[in-house]
Amino acid sequence: MKRILVTGGAGFIGSNFVRYVLTERPGVQVVNLDALTYAGSLESLSGLPGEARHAFVQGDIRDRGLVERLLSERQIDTIVHFAAESHVDRSIAGPEAFIDTNVVGTLRLLEAARAVWLGRGGSAEGKRFHHISTDEVFGSLGPSDAAFHEGTPYAPSSPYAASKAAADHLVRAYAHTYGLPASITNCSNNYGPRQFPEKLIPLMILNALTGKPLPVYGDGAQVRDWIYVVDSCEAVLRVVERGRAGESYNVGGGNQPTNLEIVQQICAVLDARFPDSPYRPYSRLLRFVPDRPGHDRRYAVDFRKIEHELGWRPRFSLDEGLSETIAWYLANPGWLSAIGRRDDYHGWIERNYTKRGADQ
């Protein structure tokens, strides 16, 4: 792996991956293709290590001509495909963008890779197309069901999960039919720095810090597996470099808290950190709100395949990851401004916490 095309590298996991790979692989060049939707920000790429080895291109993964040009002109040997519409609630409100980006976008990328890598004079040797997928393709587990493994049948529930499942099927079909050297990681819920505050953990951290309600859907007893984003990036790189082409690997954090437990844990960290806060105890802000339609009850991930084959396992506990994440949001209010959240979060956090947080 020498020249990687990262798609969606201005988003949450993508930007963390770009940072990770530039740090860990000094010989690698990264071309970062991102459309900069509401979820992407150049601010997430500020202060990159090894910046000279990173080139940002604003563009759409559905633009096959652009992708083909990038693949051939920049002599890309590896595609790590993160770009997607990623929020379940948005997919329920409007599924079409999810099909456009996640399904059609992935198809166009596959077609571009097929044309440039496998077309006349091309060779699959040394190439890899890696798709970043989700555990949500497997649907919802009952309380005593075994965790998702790579052979669990796909049963997506939300339009988001259905679009990711469709993309996975296309990637597999290209590997099977055309011999495209492709792999997939199906990962659980990521959290960490630079996650857009529409997802549970950053939303709860920022709402709590600014005294806003903490909206828990339904009874809050839904279960997710949570992985710190650095662990997730390490797993992706491991599969890209050493995973077998044609295979998928499940990736998880090895924990299963309920949503309510996560929110309470965030509140407890903030209680301890800000003993004089007027909102203390922060759990007073908790509100049960109507449930998400079709809400998946439980996810759990069996990641023994990547552990046994590639020696990967998560290194961050949920406690450590949450503390790191809270510290990052407190230390980076400017990022909130850059993503358009100046009024509701940034100024408030800067005035009330940043100096105090830095002092502690």
Residues of this chain that interact with ligand TYD (CB under 6 A) are 87-88, 189, 199-200, 203, 215-217, 222, 224, 259, 292
At 126, is the secondary structure helix, strand, or coil?
Answer: coil
Query: Can residue 134 be called a binding residue for ligand NAD (CB under 6 A)?
Result: yes
Q: Exposed, middle or buried by CB within 10 Å (0-12, 13-18, 19+), for 150?
A: middle
Can you tell me the distance from the alpha carbon of 131 to that of 111, in angstroms, rounded to the nearest whole number? 14
8/357 with CB nearer ligand NAD:
8
Which entry of ligand TYD, ligand NAD, none binds 259, CB below 5 to 8 A by partner kind? ligand TYD
SS3 content of the chain, % helix, strand, coil (to 5): 50, 15, 35
CB 267 within 8 A of CB 353: no
Query: Can residue 83 be called a binding residue for ligand NAD (CB under 6 A)?
Result: yes
161/270 with CB nearer ligand NAD:
161
Question: Catalytic site residue 136?
Answer: yes
Which entry of ligand NAD, ligand TYD, none binds 200, CB below 5 to 8 A by partner kind? ligand TYD
Q: Exposed, middle or buried by CB within 10 Å (0-12, 13-18, 19+), for 344?
A: middle
Which contiguous run of DSSP H or E holds residue 202?
helix 200-209
Cβ neighbors of 276 (< 8 A, separation 6 or more) are: none
Residue 276 CB, shortest distance to ligand NAD, in Å, is: 33
Q: How many residues bind ligand NAD (CB under 6 A)?
A: 29
Can you tell me which of 6, 187, 262, 269 binds ligand NAD, judged by CB under 6 A?
A: 187
Which entry of ligand TYD, ligand NAD, none binds 62, CB below 5 to 8 A by partner kind? ligand NAD
Q: What angle do CA 350, 353, 359 make, to 5 degrees?
A: 115
Query: Can residue 34 be called a binding residue for ligand NAD (CB under 6 A)?
Result: yes
Which entry of ligand NAD, ligand TYD, none binds 132, CB below 5 to 8 A by partner kind? ligand NAD
88/184 with CB nearer ligand TYD:
88
CB burial string 258-277: b at 16+ within 10 A, e below: bbbebbbbbbebbbebbeeb
- By CB under 6 A, name the binding residues for ligand NAD: 7-8, 10-14, 34-37, 39-40, 60-62, 82-84, 86, 101, 105, 132, 134, 164, 187, 189-190, 196
